[in-house]
């Protein structure tokens, strides 16, 4: 198994927007696909994992389906935004369409495992429920793991951690 941690530019409210972050994630996946043989990676067995903004980027890299971006077999998401509506970090309203998983919703090949706390005050749980229901209507393989009373920081919760750990181990072993 090969694991790669991707760094992306962080939006700064000025010349770097979340669109740049998303392009960085897509570029990283293209690079991985291009160097798969050298890295010992089977491009048909790629998995993605992302937390919050990183989960948003992993999901969007798949939903946008840009040329050269490999499609993941498994996608593990921790509390990503599903409805991008804040104009605080974007340079134009058109960027909201570019960044919104809801606006790019389509069936993709990978299985999505979405972990979310019902008490998340950063990314409301209702966003996850809404997106997952719409994705399932399209036939997307997606499971929403909800954690009652848990906030945005899932991995520090003793109730969520065993479920997340077991699921991630099972998913990674399937790759």
Q: What does the block give as tokens for 139?
A: 């036939």
The token pair at 28 is 């990283």
For each of the domains in the chain, give its residue range(s) and CATH number, in order of start: 47-173 (3.40.50.1820)
- pLDDT for the residue numbered 143: 97
Q: What is the pTM of this model?
A: 0.91
Q: pLDDT by residue (tens digit) across 108-128?
A: 999 999 999 999 999 999 999
pLDDT of amino acid 96: 80
What pLDDT is recorded for position 88?
61
Which regions in the chain score pLDDT beneath 50?
none
Question: Mind giving me the DSSP string for the chain?
Answer: ----PPP-PPP-SSS--HHHHHHHHHHHHHHHHHTHHHHT--TTS-EEEEETHHHHHHHHHHHH--TTPPPPSEEEEES--SS----TT-SSHHHHHHH-TTTT----SSEEEEEEETT-SSS-HHHHHHHHHHHHHTT--EEEEEETT--S-GGG-TTHHHHHHHHHHHHHHT-
């Amino acid at each position: 198994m090969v694991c790669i941690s991707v760094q992306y530019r962080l939006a700064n409210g000025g010349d770097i927007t979340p669109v740049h972050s998303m392009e960085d994630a897509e570029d990283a996946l293209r690079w991985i696909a291009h160097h798969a043989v050298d890295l010992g990676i089977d491009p048909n067995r790629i998995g993605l994992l992302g937390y919050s903004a990183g989960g948003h980027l992993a999901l969007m890299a798949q939903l946008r389906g840009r040329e050269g971006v490999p499609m993941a077999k498994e996608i593990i998401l921790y509390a990503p935004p599903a409805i991008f509506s804040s104009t605080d970090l974007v340079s134009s309203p058109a960027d909201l369409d570019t960044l919104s998983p809801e606006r790019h919703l389509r069936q993709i090949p990978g299985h999505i495992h979405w972990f979310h706390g019902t008490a998340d005050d950063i990314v409301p749980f209702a966003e996850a429920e809404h997106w997952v229901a719409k994705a399932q209507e399209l036939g997307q393989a997606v499971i929403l793991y909800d954690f009652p009373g848990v906030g945005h920081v899932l991995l520090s919760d003793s109730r969520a951690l065993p479920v997340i750990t077991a699921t991630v181990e099972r998913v990674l072993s399937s790759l």
